[in-house]
């Protein structure tokens, strides 16, 4: 558990080269942008604790820059330090309140090379996830509604509406949850969040019930398996839901948000 994720040799080499370049840039110009990329490149290599140390350095050097708190909070989530993550996201949200939003560049670009998230959406999205993992669905709902208000493209909206729907259902807000699904467009041009979009359509009944995830070998697979488990749970099929969660937890995708959520669900049952 929590072993560094394995990477193909060619991908690891590219990430190592990118990290070396980021470190070189920071040595030449030790600014906030340069330091953030050192931390992000460390995280892409699975060096999450080193990334946290780097982002902590950024928090100390640039205390008004919410990006360091946002990225450190993300890696606190990855390393199961949920309370610390939530404190970072809350502080970051306070720092950006009332400010203009900005696109966050992708370190791992999608197929079209188009970033789909912003600083504000990432703060609120991850803040909602931290609350959800801690079992506070009301606070998670509030954070994801903030994220939805800041979302400006179908990818971000699909991801946010998915998690928001789970919180709404767990709070017993059936009518609100149904309204959330009504806002989903089956024809959205999704770049990378296809699993979330597909699950929303499943929740709404637009996807045949025979369409199931095949495995848990990728983050997208993990997302689909966790979402299908929730669908079965909402439909009263606890045995199917439990089987899918065990399948997910037996797989390799422990850094995935779906895996964290499955862990949290199991711990609450135990």
pLDDT tens digits, one per residue of 18-68: 999 999 999 999 999 999 999 999 999 999 999 999 999 999 999 999 999
pLDDT band at 217, cuts 50/70/90?
Answer: confident
Rounded mean pLDDT, 202-228: 84
Q: Which of 111, 118, 171 is nearest to 141 (CA)?
A: 171
Top pLDDT among 213 and 62 is at 62
Residue 3 reports pLDDT greater than 60: no
* Residue 268 half-sphere exposure toward CB, CA atoms < 13 A: 11
State yes or no: pLDDT of 123 exceeds 80. yes
Position 2 pLDDT exceeds 70: no
- Contact between 51 and 43 (Cβ < 8 Å): yes
- Domain positions in the chain are 212-265
Dist CA 40 CA 233 (whole Å): 36
- The neighbouring-strand residues paired with 118 are 103
Flag the least confident range among 93-107, 147-161, 204-218, 240-254: 204-218
Average pLDDT for 137-150:
98
- The 3-state DSSP class for residue 268 equals helix
Q: What is the per-residue pLDDT across 185-206, written as a single tens digit (0 to 9) for each?
A: 999 999 999 999 999 999 999 9
pLDDT greater at residue 46 or residue 208: 46
Which own/partner contact pairs does 242-249 have at CB distance under 8 Å and 24+ positions apart?
247/216, 248/216, 248/222
pLDDT computed for residue 200 by the predictor: 97
Write the DSSP symbol of residue 81. Answer: -
**Cβ count within 10 A of residue 237:** 14
pLDDT at position 8, please?
Answer: 81
Tokens linked to 159: 């991801």
In this prediction, residue 209 carries a pLDDT of 60
Say yes or no to pLDDT of 124 above 60: yes
What average pLDDT does the structure give for the chain?
Answer: 94
How confident is residue 9, by pLDDT bands cut at 50, 70 and 90?
confident
Q: List the one residue out of 262, 225, 218 whose CA is nearest residue 240.
A: 225
- The candidate with the shortest Cα–Cα distance to 261, out of 174, 192, 188, 199, is 199
Length of the chain: 270
């Amino acid at each position: 558990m929590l072993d560094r994720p394995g990477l193909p040799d060619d991908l690891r080499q590219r990430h190592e080269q990118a990290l070396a370049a980021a470190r070189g840039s920071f040595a030449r110009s030790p600014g906030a942008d340069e330091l953030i990329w050192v931390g992000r490149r460390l995280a892409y290599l699975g060096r999450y604790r080193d990334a946290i140390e780097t982002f902590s350095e950024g928090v100390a050097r640039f205390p008004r820059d919410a990006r360091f708190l946002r990225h450190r909070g993300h890696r606190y989530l990855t390393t199961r330090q949920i309370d610390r993550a939530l404190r970072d996201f809350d502080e970051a949200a306070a720092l950006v309140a009332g400010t203009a939003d900005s696109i966050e560049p992708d370190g791992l670009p999608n197929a079209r090379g188009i970033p789909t998230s912003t600083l504000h959406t990432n703060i609120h999205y991850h803040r909602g996830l931290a609350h959800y993992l801690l079992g506070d669905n009301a606070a998670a709902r509030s954070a994801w509604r903030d994220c939805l208000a800041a979302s400006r493209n179908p990818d971000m909206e699909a991801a946010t509406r998915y998690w928001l729907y789970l919180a709404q259902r767990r709070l017993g807000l059936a009518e609100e949850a149904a309204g959330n699904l009504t806002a989903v467009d089956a024809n959205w041009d999704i770049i990378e969040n296809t699993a979330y979009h597909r699950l929303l359509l499943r929740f709404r009944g637009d996807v045949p019930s025979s369409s199931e995830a095949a495995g848990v070998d990728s983050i997208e697979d993990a997302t689909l398996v966790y979402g299908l488990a929730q669908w079965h749970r909402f439909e009263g099929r606890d045995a199917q839901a439990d089987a899918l969660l065990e399948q997910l937890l037996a797989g390799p995708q422990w850094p995935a948000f779906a895996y964290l959520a499955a862990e949290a669900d199991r711990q609450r049952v135990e």
